[in-house]
Chain A
Amino acid sequence: MAKITVDGVEYEAKEGRTILQALDDLGVLMNGVDVPHYCWHPKLSIDGSCRLCQVEIEGVPKLQIACNTPIKDGMEIRTQTAQVKEAREGVMELLLVNHPLDCPICDQAGECKLQDYAFEYGVEHARTREPRRAAKKNVDFGPTIIFDQERCILCRRCVRFCREVPGTGEIGVFGRGDHSTIETFPGMELDNAYSMNVADICPVGALTTKDFRFKIRVWFLEDVPGVCTGCAKGCNVWLGTANNKVYRYVPRRNDAVNETWICDSGRMSYRHIGSADRHDRAMVRGELGVLEVVSLDAAVDAAAARLRALVEAKGPGVIGAIASGHGTNEDLEAFVRLLDGLGVEARGLATIQGDSDELLVQAEKAANGEGARRLGFGDASAVIDRLKGGGLEALVVMGHDLLHAQHMGPGALEALGRLDTLIVLDTHHSALERVAHVVIPSRHAAEKAGHLTNHEGIVQAVSPAVEPVGDALAEATAFDRIAAALGPAGGPG
């Protein structure tokens, strides 16, 4: 460890780190110690080119860039001196020499580091009289990203990101001097599984995602911390919400989980939250043989009545349970309580396995499969085998991953249709409804409080970012209400 002094405050920092890295490790960078920076990013290689992070070091005649200067024991660093402020002003003024003054129509406005830093560290008036650089607008970089050459300040974070994180390297700096530009290499598109992160790390409005641009002004968004539910990684995200709607996910830094990134498909999974195919009302199959919309109470009562009748008539051995990796630990714990009360032992977990990569994407396409396993829900195949063999007469199912070819696949509905009772708790519509007897709408992770256990066993909290759709209940609530309707012991009373 090395002792460093920053603006008179002493810190202990790890040897071998640069000043910015040390401040970042200590959690004080831009959070107590203001060293503005553009090109430096905690998870990318050091570039040292924007020159904004220059600081004064005792005994060193010239200002040094904090991003690339290794700390030394006893180093005295000053970040707020007149010399430093003047250097920052110089950089800010020069960055604005060619930057268009189009904030009113720029989608980055409101979360633009050039705006923020110009306000904080820049000069009040432009001294340029020449026209600014005219360059390409609205450049289609690929399926996800639009590039504005005029707004680019050439920090080259995007170039380093593509080279270093997904390793695809589709973009580079072309040309020299004030005529240099970021472009895709000839014949290439910016197209990789993490492409949209370039919009997050772009400090200005040069790179924007096709998905989010022009949807809403960012100052209308409330950022709520949450977790992506696209796979077992559980990447930390900010949910950008307004008008009770989630407009986007952007990665929320968590060095233990996703660092500062999120995959594109996870990012786009925000669309499931408010999608048109959400269940919003409870349904019970009526006397005519079709599902009828009913009150939650009616659905809960119907589920309890069917389960009670079966247990009384044939015992709990004819009942099976399929948990989902999309529920929270609280949901799954309530499920366990209900099943324990009923005496149901045939329990399984259905999640879908898909593509994975070395970086973030996990094969299990559910955020809490590990949580379910830790609560005793094993592989669903034994339950499915019993179901197919006619050994079950009732099934309580969370979600509809069970229908996937990896579990039941074709013929699922035929087997499920033979059941006396099929109770489904689900966020989205699925073919299960064709054979279900009771359907209870459930809440997305963005609509409830609880915890998710990721593939490595890291337990992460979620909290409501938006109001639930319609009557949707957290599964925990639904299970507890069914248990209550069953009677004090949870069993036939």
Chain B
Amino acid sequence: MLTVPYTTGYLTEHFADDAFTTLAGYRARGGYEAAKKAVTEMAPADVIALVKDSGLQGRGGAGFSTGLKWSFMPTEGDAPKYLVCNADESEPGSFKDRILLERGAHQMLEGILIAAWATGADATFVYVRGEYAFPAEQLSRAVAEAYEAGLLGENIFGKGFEHDVIVHRGAGAYICGEETGLLESLEGKKGQPRKKPPFPAQFGAFGMPTTVNNVETFSHVPHIVRNGAEWFKGIGTEKSPGNTVFGVSGHVVRPGLYELPLGTPLDEIVFEHAQGVPDGRKVKGVIPGGMSMPILPAGMLDVPMANEHLRERKTMLGTGGIMVMDERTCMVRTACVITYFFRDESCGQCTQCREGTGWLNKIVERIERGAGSESDLDLLLDVCGKMEAKTICAFADAAAWPVQGLLRHFREDFEEHVRQKKCPFPESFEL
């Protein structure tokens, strides 16, 4: 079965067309014209200004301004500079980058080329999630085609512009999706985030100035160059422009990918696009942006999927990986799964994260077994507070937020476990 999005937009509209994955097919759709325009007609600073003006936010989870990030790259000095494309997509619930690599590798490469021109980067390392064998293969093939056609390598577009793309496959650790954990892993070291300062723009891959962007972020760039900032700002919300590719999974009739403008209401995505929960059951909760984002209860799904709105409900867009849970779901078991994941994946450097993730997991597992007490609920929140905003990277936050979200909206599930001294959800998924 071909996994193409059910709803498409400028990013994915040609993904059903096999030819689009080839250089010829991509060029037939106007591919690499934007890169040519940028390299031959625009100064690097103008490209950065354009992307800044478009309001494009990073699509890897943090939502930082892409143009601003590019502007941090030093413009002086002879040292090599690098781009890194973060294709480690390891946030549970996220599977958008996979399709963007499998079906749109040239689109992403064109975005990389434009970013390289804008930032003066000498090479791009594409760090592909270890399990993504087929996407890595598709990407490598596209890279080879691009070299063959002179779109990578030396003297690109006859402008003396040089750029190399190196495809690097990871080995399957969640933390290697964190940008400095990724850099360490790329350098052949144990994947664990670096303390900052120094920041990657000064000291990144192999100690050189580096900008790290997500697969989807790069994929938007050719469209912005082709159609302009105003066009881009016309899509989505005022503060969160553009489309994104939502991945919907869990208890829905039609799980899959949906390219939609940012700001599309969550209930529209869940009930109209993904066609709601099967067998007439009700939604209980929805994780809006990958597992590390706090859950929303059924009553809060009218929220537009854009950070400015999601923040009001104490959650975030994250990677746009939407996970739907129906009424049978035990939220304590959900907490067990989530805390187990983070316990297993914590790199173990920072005290709060190393010890906190394990402790959270032990407490929720105890509650699920029916051995919890009322005070455990506040203890969970207290441990989360001790983990939040105190570590090298945001992993500890990512581990604490979902627990806080579950307790914020589903505290009664936890309390019921304590009262009944067992799990009151016999139909929930098995641990």
**Bound together:** yes
**B386 touches A (CB below 8 Å):** yes
Measured CA separation A153–B348 after assembly (Å): 10
Closest residue of B by beta carbon distance from A93: B386
- Asked whether A178 lies within 8 Å of B343 as measured between CB atoms, the reply is yes
Partner of A51, one of B343, B358, B391: B391
Partner of A154, one of B195, B345, B348: B348
Chain B contacts of A52 at CB under 8 A? 351
Chain B contacts of A128 at CB under 8 A? 359
Chain B contacts of A54 at CB under 8 A? 390
Measured CA separation A154–B350 after assembly (Å): 9
Chain A contacts of B352 at CB under 8 A? 51, 90-91, 94
Chain A contacts of B349 at CB under 8 A? 47, 49, 154
**B389 touches A (CB below 8 Å):** yes
Partner of A49, one of B343, B351, B362, B385: B351
Interface string of B177-197 (1 = CB under 8 A from A): 000000000000010000101
Interface string of A88-99 (1 = CB under 8 A from B): 001101110110
Measured CA separation A93–B386 after assembly (Å): 9
Measured CA separation A297–B345 after assembly (Å): 75
A249-285 at interface with B (beta carbon < 8 Å): none
- Asked whether B390 lies within 8 Å of A177 as measured between CB atoms, the reply is no
Closest residue of B by beta carbon distance from A63: B390
Count B-side interface residues using an 8 Å CB cutoff: 33
Q: How far is the CB of A56 from chain B (nearest CB, A)?
A: 13
Measured CA separation A63–B350 after assembly (Å): 15
A139-182 at interface with B (beta carbon < 8 Å): 153-154, 172-173, 175-180
**B392 touches A (CB below 8 Å):** yes
Q: How far is the CB of A55 from chain B (nearest CB, A)?
A: 12
- Asked whether A68 lies within 8 Å of B362 as measured between CB atoms, the reply is no
Chain A contacts of B141 at CB under 8 A? none
Closest residue of A by beta carbon distance from B371: A129
- Asked whether A176 lies within 8 Å of B344 as measured between CB atoms, the reply is yes
Chain B contacts of A51 at CB under 8 A? 350-352, 390-391
Chain B contacts of A48 at CB under 8 A? 195, 392
Chain B contacts of A129 at CB under 8 A? 366
Q: How far is the CB of A206 from chain B (nearest CB, A)?
A: 15
- Asked whether B190 lies within 8 Å of A173 as measured between CB atoms, the reply is yes
- Asked whether B389 lies within 8 Å of A178 as measured between CB atoms, the reply is no
Chain B contacts of A180 at CB under 8 A? 348, 354
A178 and B195 contact, Cβ closer than 8 Å, known pairs A62-B389, A173-B348: no
A106-155 at interface with B (beta carbon < 8 Å): 127-130, 153-154
Interface SS of A by simple majority: loop
Partner of A177, one of B348, B363, B391, B392: B348
Interface string of B334-364 (1 = CB under 8 A from A): 0000000001111111111111111100110
- Asked whether A178 lies within 8 Å of B354 as measured between CB atoms, the reply is yes
Q: How large is the interface on A (under 10, 10 to 19, 20 to 34, 35 or more residues)?
A: 35 or more
**A87 touches B (CB below 8 Å):** yes
A38-80 at interface with B (beta carbon < 8 Å): 46-52, 54, 62-63, 65, 68, 70
Q: How far is the CB of B309 from chain A (nearest CB, A)?
A: 23
A-B contact count (CB 8 A): 94
Chain B contacts of A94 at CB under 8 A? 351-352, 354-356, 359, 383, 386
Closest residue of A by beta carbon distance from B343: A177
Chain A contacts of B343 at CB under 8 A? 177-178
**B300 touches A (CB below 8 Å):** no
Closest residue of B by beta carbon distance from A94: B355
**B43 touches A (CB below 8 Å):** no
**B379 touches A (CB below 8 Å):** yes
- Asked whether B390 lies within 8 Å of A154 as measured between CB atoms, the reply is no
- Asked whether B197 lies within 8 Å of A90 as measured between CB atoms, the reply is no
Chain B contacts of A153 at CB under 8 A? 351
Of B197, B346, B354, which is in contact with the most chain A CB atoms at under 10 Å from its CB? B354
- Asked whether A176 lies within 8 Å of B347 as measured between CB atoms, the reply is yes
Chain B contacts of A70 at CB under 8 A? 197
Chain B contacts of A65 at CB under 8 A? 195
Q: How far is the CB of A53 from chain B (nearest CB, A)?
A: 11
- Asked whether A68 lies within 8 Å of B379 as measured between CB atoms, the reply is no
- Asked whether B351 lies within 8 Å of A175 as measured between CB atoms, the reply is no
Closest residue of A by beta carbon distance from B385: A90
Measured CA separation A48–B194 after assembly (Å): 9
Chain A contacts of B383 at CB under 8 A? 94
Chain A contacts of B197 at CB under 8 A? 68, 70
Measured CA separation A128–B385 after assembly (Å): 16
Closest residue of A by beta carbon distance from B355: A94
- Asked whether A130 lies within 8 Å of B366 as measured between CB atoms, the reply is yes
Measured CA separation A173–B175 after assembly (Å): 16
- Asked whether A98 lies within 8 Å of B351 as measured between CB atoms, the reply is no
Closest residue of B by beta carbon distance from A67: B195
Partner of B347, one of A46, A50, A93, A177: A177
- Asked whether B346 lies within 8 Å of A68 as measured between CB atoms, the reply is no
Q: How far is the CB of A421 from chain B (nearest CB, A)?
A: 68
Measured CA separation A52–B355 after assembly (Å): 14
Measured CA separation A62–B391 after assembly (Å): 11
Q: How far is the CB of B222 from chain A (nearest CB, A)?
A: 37
Measured CA separation A175–B390 after assembly (Å): 22
Measured CA separation A175–B358 after assembly (Å): 14
Chain B contacts of A95 at CB under 8 A? 351, 355
- Asked whether A90 lies within 8 Å of B190 as measured between CB atoms, the reply is no
Q: How far is the CB of B27 from chain A (nearest CB, A)?
A: 44
Measured CA separation A153–B352 after assembly (Å): 12
Q: How far is the CB of A392 from chain B (nearest CB, A)?
A: 65
Q: How far is the CB of A20 from chain B (nearest CB, A)?
A: 13
Interface string of B91-112 (1 = CB under 8 A from A): 0000000000000000000000
- Asked whether A178 lies within 8 Å of B355 as measured between CB atoms, the reply is yes
Q: How far is the CB of B202 from chain A (nearest CB, A)?
A: 12
- Asked whether A177 lies within 8 Å of B350 as measured between CB atoms, the reply is no
Closest residue of B by beta carbon distance from A175: B348
Q: How far is the CB of B400 from chain A (nearest CB, A)?
A: 12
Chain A contacts of B359 at CB under 8 A? 94, 97, 128, 130
Of B343, B348, B355, B357, which is in contact with the most chain A CB atoms at under 10 Å from its CB? B355
Q: How far is the CB of A157 from chain B (nearest CB, A)?
A: 13
Closest residue of A by beta carbon distance from B174: A176
Closest residue of B by beta carbon distance from A54: B390
Chain B contacts of A175 at CB under 8 A? 348
Closest residue of B by beta carbon distance from A92: B351
A312-335 at interface with B (beta carbon < 8 Å): none
- Asked whether A91 lies within 8 Å of B351 as measured between CB atoms, the reply is yes
B220-275 at interface with A (beta carbon < 8 Å): none
Measured CA separation A177–B389 after assembly (Å): 18
Measured CA separation A306–B349 after assembly (Å): 71
Partner of B357, one of A87, A127, A172, A177: A177
Measured CA separation A90–B389 after assembly (Å): 12
Partner of A178, one of B357, B385, B386: B357
A90 and B358 contact, Cβ closer than 8 Å, known pairs A46-B195, A127-B379, A178-B346: no
Measured CA separation A322–B363 after assembly (Å): 73
Measured CA separation A91–B348 after assembly (Å): 14
Closest residue of A by beta carbon distance from B372: A129
Interface string of A428-465 (1 = CB under 8 A from B): 00000000000000000000000000000000000000
- Asked whether A176 lies within 8 Å of B348 as measured between CB atoms, the reply is yes
Q: How far is the CB of B394 from chain A (nearest CB, A)?
A: 12
What 5 A-B pairs are tightest by C-beta distance, nearest first?
A90-B386, A48-B195, A178-B358, A177-B346, A180-B348
Apart from the given pairs A95-B355, A175-B348, A177-B358, 15 other A-B contacts in the complex at a CB distance below 8 Å = A49-B195, A49-B350, A51-B391, A68-B197, A98-B355, A127-B379, A130-B363, A153-B351, A154-B354, A172-B190, A176-B344, A177-B346, A177-B348, A178-B343, A178-B355
Residues of chain A at the chain B interface (Cβ within 8 Å): 46-52, 54, 62-63, 65, 68, 70, 87, 90-91, 93-95, 97-98, 127-130, 153-154, 172-173, 175-180
Instruction: Give 14 pairs: A residue, B residue, CB < 8 Å, sorted on A.
Output: A48-B392, A49-B195, A51-B390, A62-B390, A63-B389, A91-B351, A94-B351, A129-B366, A154-B349, A176-B173, A177-B346, A177-B347, A177-B358, A178-B343
